[in-house]
Chains A and B, each alone.
Chain A
């Protein structure tokens, strides 16, 4: 049982939680994830660690309530407990070898690039950052990103805030303007990551993506999170979650991610009804 120390609503359906977890905070690193179960009946949900404080023994996660379990989680408040909280899982992000990085975050995927932007800023080499969402209400962490970015570009699909367009619109502009990035780290919905990878392939810029595949255990046991990368089967949980975006078979990954959506939808209806 892990206590919710702080809860903050970021958008209509995205909440930030600071969880009391000295166990996870002790060794966790940016890029890794946790698996939680809301209650004793709950399913195992993988969520990115978007911040941590080793001294305070806390881990911060962002939850977008889109399914039955995440909606249930959204109903919990400060002082409530999460039944199970296990981690850190997966591998840490490695950006050491790159000199000029741009971070690209789409929707709640921005949670994954947030610890990176902080780390890079701490290391004295802040990165350019593009964040994007469908509209103004879905943007998260704008202030936090601005504090840590070299240059921050904010995009909305409908133009309700920042510039109108996709994150790829801005990325293309920057690449065309001669920015010499040697690495793009892009995290967001799979179609967004696919679009980024397709774009950067033309420019020959190394691209890292983070795969939020369906998984059960998160320790390599079920194989549900398998992704084809460069023609080889990889497990997002133990081999990833980050992979070379130019090698990931996104079409397959997107199809796989749809598999449980119908059943999940049914549960969600029950929850709302």
Chain B
């Protein structure tokens, strides 16, 4: 067996891209895609598929690339995923499909499944898209709350299976986290728009500026529909509850990214203001933290540091995002935890302590503990808190019957994703707490399956 090394995508030079909002990775061209596809040995009992939350037939679509039939590859992916251009870009492949690839350890590295998925999606989009198959008449009515990845995935499957679907979005633009959270340089917005346009072709209607629980109640939705799916995401930002968090210049990652992405504050002449910092500190080490750090860098910050209380191994962000951030000049302050934000009215610095990890406890987890006497200050004029989010309480507040637990996550039947209210389903971050785009999509599809089955009963 050959040991050809994994191919690398074409990327913008880090020095250049650190100052623009164009997409960082340009993916594979035709030749690279073909070469990478050839690295797949087409395992009979393909382990990679076990790692895919939506179960894409990976060897089959890569096989089609080998044959040069990219349209067929697209059709194979479309059987299980509605948003391949998006997932190819934002899925944490290294901990999913690519984690199980037989080539991973000794054969030049895992096949670049994500990059190939993206290649197929981009190719087909540029070449007129896939044929729209005839869909059965839409005899049932469904409402989807939220137009993020969970809602979009659920809506698509319902529309293809006999449902007239209406999606309700609180914002003035559809896409949820795909438009307000993930930055342009990682996920171009015209691509998200084209996926949404595809959905409209399936007869899905999207109503913007409607806040379910406020503009329309959940009860009203339930009355007017055969089924309701809640995909409202984990919207409420968490702060650390340390002194100084109300100083001007302290943002939640949500606010910062929403101003820049959704409200386009990065564009010349944008109306929505955002602070252009000189020295920025981002607290947290997930994908959102990487996005915030790389965004503030592009907004002109001279120095950007990521402060994280654990070590590199524990950073929850996708490997690629961490590498990209470092390449662009983002500094990692690992095993470091903020204890106070300094300043009188505006941020002037952040006081931190160094942390050490304990030996693994019974659960195998290494806990961070404070190193005594290690206090130090990082000078900065901006702090972006990116330490997670919890589900939005708005819907629950307006509907007592909707059972939630812990920090407000919606309680569902694990099989069907049905909530405590009959005919009302939920999935994605609203159920799991902050997770990934692909898990949300998977949940949307799972709920759609259950909804379709419930109609056939």
Q: How far is the CA of A43 from the CA of B246 in the complex (A)?
A: 23
- Contact A43–B272 (Cβ < 8 Å): yes
- Contact A220–B392 (Cβ < 8 Å): yes
Q: Does A255 contact B (CB under 8 A)?
A: yes
Closest to A90 in B: B214
- Contact A87–B215 (Cβ < 8 Å): yes
- Contact B259–A85 (Cβ < 8 Å): no
B402 → chain A, closest Cβ, in Å?
16
Task: Kindly list chain A residues whose C-beta atoms are within 8 Å of the C-beta of B254.
Answer: 221-223
A142 → chain B, closest Cβ, in Å?
32
Q: How far is the CA of A88 from the CA of B248 in the complex (A)?
A: 28
Closest to A39 in B: B271
Q: How far is the CA of A145 from the CA of B270 in the complex (A)?
A: 39
Chain A at the B interface: SS class: mixed
Given contacts A223-B239, A267-B271, 7 further A-B contacts (CB under 8 A): A87-B214, A219-B235, A220-B235, A223-B237, A224-B251, A224-B252, A252-B246
Q: Does A200 contact B (CB under 8 A)?
A: no
- Contact A216–B255 (Cβ < 8 Å): yes
Residue of B210, B271, B392 touching A41 (CB-CB under 8 A): B271
Q: Does B263 contact A (CB under 8 A)?
A: yes
Q: How far is the CA of A91 from the CA of B77 in the complex (A)?
A: 45
Q: How far is the CA of A9 from the CA of B338 in the complex (A)?
A: 51
CB within 8 Å of B: which of A119-156? none
Q: How far is the CA of A113 from the CA of B247 in the complex (A)?
A: 30
Q: Does B275 contact A (CB under 8 A)?
A: yes
- Contact B209–A217 (Cβ < 8 Å): no
Q: How far is the CA of A24 from the CA of B249 in the complex (A)?
A: 33
B53 → chain A, closest Cβ, in Å?
25
Task: Kindly list chain A residues whose C-beta atoms are within 8 Å of the C-beta of B252.
Answer: 222-224
Q: B249-293: contact bitstring with A at CB < 8 Å (1 yes, 0 no)? A: 101101100110001100000111101000000000000000000
Task: Kindly list chain A residues whose C-beta atoms are within 8 Å of the C-beta of B180.
Answer: 221
Q: Does B208 contact A (CB under 8 A)?
A: yes
Given contacts A216-B259, A223-B239, A223-B255, contact A27 B248 (CB under 8 A): no
Q: How far is the CA of A220 from the CA of B236 in the complex (A)?
A: 6
- Of the four ranges (under 10, 10 to 19, 20 to 34, 35 or more), the interface on chain A belongs to 35 or more
Residue of A44, A226, A238, A255 touching B263 (CB-CB under 8 A): A44
B390 → chain A, closest Cβ, in Å?
10
Closest to B233 in A: A221
Q: Does A86 contact B (CB under 8 A)?
A: yes
A219 → chain B, closest Cβ, in Å?
5
CB within 8 Å of A: which of B190-239? 208-211, 214-217, 235-237, 239
- Contact A24–B255 (Cβ < 8 Å): no
Task: Kindly list chain A residues whose C-beta atoms are within 8 Å of the C-beta of B248.
Answer: 255-256, 258-259
- Contact A219–B215 (Cβ < 8 Å): no
Q: Does B170 contact A (CB under 8 A)?
A: yes
Task: Kindly list chain B residues whose C-beta atoms are within 8 Å of the C-beta of A44.
Answer: 172, 263, 272
Q: A234-273: contact bitstring with B at CB < 8 Å (1 yes, 0 no)? A: 0000100000000001001001101110011001000000
Residue of A24, A217, A226, A255 touching B345 (CB-CB under 8 A): A255
Task: Kindly list chain B residues whose C-beta atoms are within 8 Å of the C-beta of A249.
Answer: 246
Q: Does A66 contact B (CB under 8 A)?
A: no
Given contacts A44-B172, A226-B246, contact A84 B275 (CB under 8 A): no
B331 → chain A, closest Cβ, in Å?
25
